[in-house]
A and B are shown apart, each in its own frame.
Chain A
Amino acid sequence: MTSADHQATHDVVKHSERHEGPQKHIIVFVLSIVLTAIAFAAVAAGGVNAAFTVLLLLVMAVIQVLVQMGYWMHLKDRGHMMPIIFMLGGFFVAGTAIVTALYWVWW
């Protein structure tokens, strides 16, 4: 068997890797809530300035997405190359449309 064969037959997640214990998931769960809380607090507090709040929200959102996808959707685990590729593909297609609509097209 060549290495390519090996890749094709073992593209499936090993069962043991799915069960890494609740500890990590609890940490991630708390982290998700904290991220959400920060976002809410930033808006509730008002203060500083709007541009900073928007930036903060965006950063929190990006971290949130990464955490959710990595841990809850298991994208960080082995054998998830295809979902990652397709997710990036989706981002690319949607991103192209949005960037074009915002910066190239007059209407």
Chain B
Amino acid sequence: MAHAHSVKRHKGLMDWLTTVDHKKIAILYLLAGGLFFGIGGIEAVLIRLQLIKPMNDFVSAQTFNELITMHGTTMIFLGVMPVIFALMNAVIPLQIGARDVAFPFLNSLGFWTFLFGGLLLNLSWIMGGAPDAGWTSYTPLSTTTYSTTHGVDFYTVGLQIAGLGTLIGGINFLATIITMRAPGMSFMRMPMFTWTSFITSAMILFAFPAITVGLVLLSFDRILGANFFEVSNGGNPILWQHIFWIFGHPEVYILILPAFGVISEVIPTFARKRLFGYSSMVFATILIAFLGFMVWAHHMFTTGLGPVANALFSIATMLIAVPTGIKIFNWLFTMWGGQIRFTSPNLFAIGFIPTFVMGGVTGVMLASAPADFQFHDTYFVVAHFHYVIVGGLVSGLLAGLHYWWPKMFGRMLNETLGKLSFWFFIIGFHLTFFVQHFLGLMGMQRRVFTYLPNQGFDTLNMVSTIGAILMGIGILFFLINAIATAFKPKGVAADPWEDGRTLEWAIPSPPPEYNFKQTPLVRGIDALWKEKMAGNKGMTPAEPLGPIHMPSPTILPFVMSVGIFIAGLGFMFSKEDFSNSFMSLIFNNWIVVIIGLLITFGSMLLRSLYDDHGWHIEVEELEEEGVKA
């Protein structure tokens, strides 16, 4: 049945550019996410250095606006999203007993469009100024009337391209989780990380179209002279806020749910107990997603929505505390009576719980519309969302990275460095952001580039900046850990934490490119743990050993993304007045856009016309490797 036909194997850089293997794409996502996270982190430190003392002139007001805008945009869209996708790519196919994602080609396309969108956005620093209208890019501030540089164009076009990648990734994981679970893995036997990623992907599917539409409207307003948000021509600037937050609020749950999933994996493993209340965890995840789409207007209480809307959105927002509370208590009950090991991933996971609770409590405070009139646009809000995103999400991601690092790279991270990075990170984090609650309550506005002395802001801002530096040191320890580990020899066991519960720990670390030699048969929640408890050596295979069908590597996703990148740049500068006549010829006549789109659609045509049936790994090859393993 298997027709042996050789496949072109690439080496070195070409291997990475053409790979469709989910494990390699995970590493690419991690590298790209790490790069943008680093850029966003440097921006954060610069912001804090500017605010270290009153009337500071470390950066100018304009640069400060660019810094805060790019810090927020980079961290949300280009920093944590790819790290989430890195974990999803690295873990989900393994957790559900699949050999790859449903659409390996799309997986690669999703990564490259994301990367080129991110690069386009960050090119703004060297191409005439970064976006400066805040990460929310509210109109009318972001319209051409008030933002005259190309900054906001980089924002609209860059995010549009990066968002395409996210949408592709989300759909891919939906299809993967629905169709590719191993025999016996019903929905209610899926590991929690797979569940939360599934719900996150569904939210991506519903939320990203809103921002796509919003960005199209804003870029049409700015570049083609449309009037969607232009009051003088009958537009409505509040419309942008609605569109942005119809996307934006689900987006924050898109971010946090995978972190919830990581915590739900790490805590049971290191407590040596099954997750307390599995079905209530699933229910809570779905409920959070459901409610997440009905609360967007709580970002807009002060725009004057009216008392009915404010009251209803207040209540809907407060309701989210219920499923989130269920999760918190379930984690606590999982640890209750467990044999807890304080490894570095578990430290991050345990640190997550109180920190996230604090962020949640301020969230409920902000949900109260009358109180929000006081908190709105102060440092109280800044403290709140950094508690949930940094203290919550980033802690969760660091827990996940420490936990799955041996599975991704075949090498254990150093425990001492891991613990050092945890303590620096969590102490620095609370120093930075705890005091910001009080700064906000005392009346310090967010997004101000400086402040007058003797308003009671001076000491707390100093403390906050010191905390930010400590947090940066924590992240540096993690970076040193990662680099140092890369030089260690590979060869950790399949189950290096020894208490692994889910399927990914049943196969070698790092897994072979086909993951599972034979698809495993799943007999319950925590499939591997169940086999361990039954005294079995590993998973029972659900199929005889046979040739494995693999997708071929391809450069097309990369080329398609380059095309979109070129078209995006061309679109941005289509109305620019160039002094160079050649530049104005190719840009003002849409030639650059057409070239870019030709590259993309040409690649799509090539992909459609040229049938690539992939290749097979034959049984003999598998058996050979089996001896080695």
User: Which residues on A are within 8 Å of B, measured CB to CB?
Assistant: 1-2, 4-5, 7-9, 11-12, 82, 86, 89-90, 92-93, 96-97, 100-101, 104-107
Contacts and interface: CB of A to CB of B under 8 A. Distances in A.
B297 A11 contact: no
Interface stretch (B9-17, B136-144, B181-189): B181-189
Interface in B225-275: 236, 238, 242, 246
B305 A93 contact: no
Nearest to A6: B186
A7 B186 CA distance: 7
A107 B236 contact: yes
A35 B306 CA distance: 41
Interface on chain A toward B: helix, strand, loop, or mixed SS?
helix
Contacts, number: 59
A68 B178 CA distance: 24
A6 to B, nearest CB: 9
Given A4-B186, A82-B178, A97-B246, A106 B206 contact: no
Contact of B183 (A5, A86, A100, A106): A5
Contact of B297 (A8, A86, A92, A105): A105
A8 B174 CA distance: 15
Interface size bracket, B side? 20 to 34
A8 B185 contact: yes
Contact of B294 (A1, A96, A106, A107): A96
Closest 4 CB pairs of A and B: A4-B186, A104-B309, A106-B306, A93-B206
A75 to B, nearest CB: 15
Contacts of A82: 178
Contacts of A5: 183-184, 186
Contacts of B181: 8
Contacts of A106: 304-306, 309
B246 A90 contact: no
A101 B202 contact: no
A11 B179 contact: yes
A105 B246 contact: no
A89 B297 contact: no
Contacts of B206: 89-90, 93
Interface string B270-306: 0000000000000000000000011001000001111
Contact of B312 (A2, A86, A93, A104): A104
Contacts of B126: none
Nearest to B294: A96
14 contacts: A4-B186, A5-B184, A7-B186, A8-B181, A8-B184, A86-B174, A89-B202, A90-B205, A97-B242, A100-B297, A105-B242, A107-B236, A107-B238, A107-B305
Interface centre among A82, A92, A93, A100 (most CB of B within 10 A): A93
Contacts of A8: 181, 183-187
B533 interface: no
Contacts of A105: 242, 297, 305-306, 309
